[in-house]
Structure 1
Amino acid sequence: MDRRSRLIARARQGYRLAYGVEPTRFVAAPGRVNLIGEHVDYNEGYVLPCAIDREAIVAFGPPAQEAKQPVFEAVALDLGDMASARDSFDLHAPVRPGENNWQNHVRGVVQALGRYGHRVKPMRIAIAGDVPIGAGLSSSAAFGVAVALAVSEFSGLGLVPEMLAKVAQLAENDFVGCACGIMDQMVAAVSTEGHALLLDCRTLQHMAIPIHPSLAITVIDTGLRRSLTESAFNQRRAECEAAAAALGVTALRDLDSTRLLLAEPDLDPLLFRRARHVVTEMERVEPVGVAMALGDTAQLATLMREAHASLSEDFEVSLPPIDRLAAILAEALGEAGGVRLTGAGFGGCLVAVCAKEATGAIDTAVGRYNRDADWPARVEVFRAVGGAGPVAAG
């Protein structure tokens, strides 16, 4: 049984245990790894992520026949025992936040759909996933987009992928309390297999960028975990907004390096460093896309090294163990590929884009790092997959 089949079986079994009947349909949405363009999405710039072959799967079906109220029921199969991982709420009453994070992802999606003018039918869902939680691979966006798609399918809303992304983002912003941009939800919704996604986070225009067949995308999970809503993520967004306001622009997307350097004497030093990361990171997106399409590993090595240094020094979202591991990996790869922190930071993962034959050097380097590490790192090679959609259960 392959990975997805096992996940479908778990979702089906969890649905049966929770509700005593078989689900009628399944949908899935993938996690993602961001290749370049970190902390750029909420600054309305360009980013280059790709969806990965780890996902959230939602099994769903109609409400109980004996139900007298229009109730939405949910069970999260990866989060606690069957009692603590269940939720239900009345669709005729205002949707209020629940007691924990996963409930708010579900309730937030339903509430966001209502705000967009959609009527949600009573239904039952069970969610299972294999995107590592807290690793910077966007398990939350996979969860939210999958739930939004399940509701759209069951309620006959026919939402296009871009709207699924908007709904899931609104849920995270307003119900979960994470001031994230829309990159994660968009890549979960609209990606193309074998490609990265060049996304304009202001207009949502996007283009599939081929990943050269000679390249491998490797994620190195540092083992360090963080919670975005409890970390300095929202603080970094506020600092970027303050820098944009001080510079008289709508968002940092509207700056380039020349204009930013001219403004440095009049800008708070901390805000200048935050803005410098965002501006230089945006300028790396196009050349990384070109290098990836061409398989130019030497260019990837240079650009990703610059990106990691900027995240560590100017944006201050790395940690000393992550910097040490990144340096070990960069030395091991040389010009065979690049490596940098990916995701919001404060823990999580590194991503390497390198020649396929160089992945062994990554394994060796991580083994050396793990000899002295408090939290051992793990290596996994991912495949670039398509976005959210229905799943044939077999």
Structure 2
Amino acid sequence: MSGAIETARTRFERSFGASPDGVAFAPGRVNLIGDHVDYNDGLVLPMPLALGTAVAWKRREDELLDVRASDYGDEVSRFHPGEEPPVQDGWHSLVHGMAQLLHEEGLVGGGLDLLIAGDLPRGSGLSSSASLCIAIGRALLEAAGAMGYSPTRLAQIAQQVEHRFAGVACGIMDQMVVAAGKEGKAMLLDCRSLEWRQVGLPKDWSVIVVQSGVTRELVDGAYNSRRTDCEAAAEALGVASLRDVDPAGVDYSALGETQALRARHVVSEIERTRQAAAAIDDRDLERLGSLLRDAHASMRDLFEASHPQVDAQVDWLNEIIGAQGGARMTGGGFGGSIVLFCEASEADRVVGEIDRDGKPLHGFGEVTIRAHN
């Protein structure tokens, strides 16, 4: 269980002088394979983490929300949920946006004191923003007694908040796995139909998430420009989205150079994700490792969303893992985290190579997460 839950409870009591009525939690996520295909209606394979965001809450007598963010210097935001949220104002925009959209659905029925605490490393590409949105949403729903609210609808609202108030034209992957994923399982999600199935991971495999040490930032426009490239490529190819492209019959000659690169990544990544889920079902770790290596090369060379330091780290990790497993950059790119698979019997050795005597090597960040076994 995430330590954020107890931290939120303790800090709530310190900040508000009373015990909370409840504590809501939402995990972070690591995407095993399938990056930048969710907004192209593709297939993705994320899984939730044990780390995440907790929101302690207590009802108050007025109609205001009094929100304290303990991870951001105890910053405070007080507002009525019916007010228009600020745009691109960090965590304030996300929290206020979730409150307003749920208020529009009649699901914020009174004032609340709220305290946010999380244990996801910042800038790590592990979906701290989706985790925050879903945790806030769950706290508001718990306070309203709406425990049966659809996780799919909650994910869609969180995505709208990212679009409207954070300025990030993200797909639905992060919000869906945070809202509906199961601990210890991957989620094979069809981002067009929003149908999914849980994919159980073998007990003798390990999934490890390593911070690259390169802080990831999406709101500088790089993410949104990649989405624009993909939409232009789909239009030029005469399809609704790149999900509809036939990998065997596509002719990229109608595209400009940049559009062709982006489209080639998306089309091949959707197929790799399908094959990766099958490799897990078949317990074929060597095949999965090969797909992870190919996915990283595609993000580096075709989508141009990697970073030289991360590329060097991924190459080094793949060398020490060997054929039974593999590593790749994960998330939106431009830094963040690396995900790797290896045999569970090898996990201690691999982690020991990354972090010797408590000191990360090769520029890695301080936090290494055992996401599975």
Could you tell me the TM-score, scaled by structure 2's length? Answer: 0.93
CA–CA separation in structure 2 for the residues paired with 1:173 and 1:277: 23
CA–CA separation in structure 2 for the residues paired with 1:142 and 1:337: 28
Task: Give the letter aligned to residue 328 of structure 2.
Answer: R
Shift of 1:73: 1.5
Query: What are the superposed Cα offsets for residues 105-161 of structure 1, whole Å, 9 maximum, x if unpaired?
Result: 111101222444645432121111111121011111111101111111112334111
- Unaligned 5+ runs, structure 1: 385-394
* 2:274 pairs with 1:279: no
* 2:19 pairs with 1:19: no
Structure 1 counterpart of 2:91: 102
Q: How does 1:203-222 map to 2 (within 5 A)?
A: 203-222=193-212
Q: How does 1:33-182 map to 2 (within 5 A)?
A: 33-63=30-60, 65=61, 67=62, 70-80=63-73, 82=74, 85-91=75-81, 93-97=82-86, 100-116=89-105, 118-157=107-146, 158-182=148-172
Is the contact made by 2:169 and 2:224 (CA closer than 8 Å) also made in structure 1? yes
CA–CA separation in structure 1 for the residues paired with 2:78 and 2:249: 52
Query: What are the superposed Cα offsets for residues 218-259 of structure 1, whole Å, 9 maximum, x if unpaired?
Result: 011111102221251111111111111111111111112223
Query: What are the superposed Cα offsets for residues 21-74 of structure 1, whole Å, 9 maximum, x if unpaired?
Result: 2110111111110011111111111101100110111111101x4x4xx21111
Is the contact made by 1:53 and 1:383 (CA closer than 8 Å) also made in structure 2? no
* 2:316 pairs with 1:321: no
Is the contact made by 1:301 and 1:339 (CA closer than 8 Å) also made in structure 2? yes
Is the contact made by 2:327 and 2:339 (CA closer than 8 Å) also made in structure 1? yes
Is the contact made by 1:89 and 1:95 (CA closer than 8 Å) also made in structure 2? no
- Report SS of the residue matched to 2:197: strand
- Report SS of the residue matched to 1:322: helix
CA–CA separation in structure 1 for the residues paired with 2:183 and 2:17: 36
- Report SS of the residue matched to 2:203: coil
CA–CA separation in structure 2 for the residues paired with 1:35 and 1:195: 11
Structure 1 residue runs of 4+, over 4 Å off? Answer: 115-120, 367-372, 375-378
Task: Give the letter aligned to residue 50 of structure 2.
Answer: D
Structure 2 counterpart of 1:288: 276
CA, structure 1 residues 25+377, in 2 after alignment: closer, same or farther (shift >3 Å)?
Answer: closer
- Report SS of the residue matched to 2:83: coil
Is the contact made by 1:366 and 1:377 (CA closer than 8 Å) also made in structure 2? no
The more displaced of 170-179 and 12-21 is 12-21
Query: What are the superposed Cα offsets for residues 298-327 of structure 1, whole Å, 9 maximum, x if unpaired?
Result: 101211110000000000111111111111
CA–CA separation in structure 2 for the residues paired with 1:109 and 1:51: 21
CA, structure 1 residues 164+371, in 2 after alignment: closer, same or farther (shift >3 Å)?
Answer: closer
Structure 2 counterpart of 1:352: 340
Task: Give the letter aligned to residue 214 of structure 2.
Answer: L
Where relative contact order (Cα < 8 A, 6+ residues apart) is larger, the structure is 1
CA, structure 1 residues 323+75, in 2 after alignment: closer, same or farther (shift >3 Å)?
Answer: same
Shift of 1:378: 4.7
Q: How high is the sequence identity, in percent, across the aligned residues?
A: 38
Shift of 1:18: 2.7
CA–CA separation in structure 2 for the residues paired with 1:338 and 1:99: 36
Shift of 1:353: 1.4
Could you tell me the TM-score, scaled by structure 1's length? Answer: 0.89
Is the contact made by 2:5 and 2:25 (CA closer than 8 Å) also made in structure 1? no
- Report SS of the residue matched to 2:249: helix
CA, structure 1 residues 120+214, in 2 after alignment: closer, same or farther (shift >3 Å)?
Answer: same
Corresponding residue to 1:304 among 292, 308, 321: 292
* 2:182 pairs with 1:197: no
* 2:21 pairs with 1:28: no
Query: What are the superposed Cα offsets for residues 64-111 of structure 1, whole Å, 9 maximum, x if unpaired?
Result: x4x4xx21111111112x3xx1101123x5323168311111111012
The more displaced of 30-39 and 156-165 is 156-165
Aligned length: 370
CA, structure 1 residues 126+239, in 2 after alignment: closer, same or farther (shift >3 Å)?
Answer: same
Task: Give the letter aligned to residue 187 of structure 1.
Answer: V
CA RMSD of aligned residues (A): 2.0
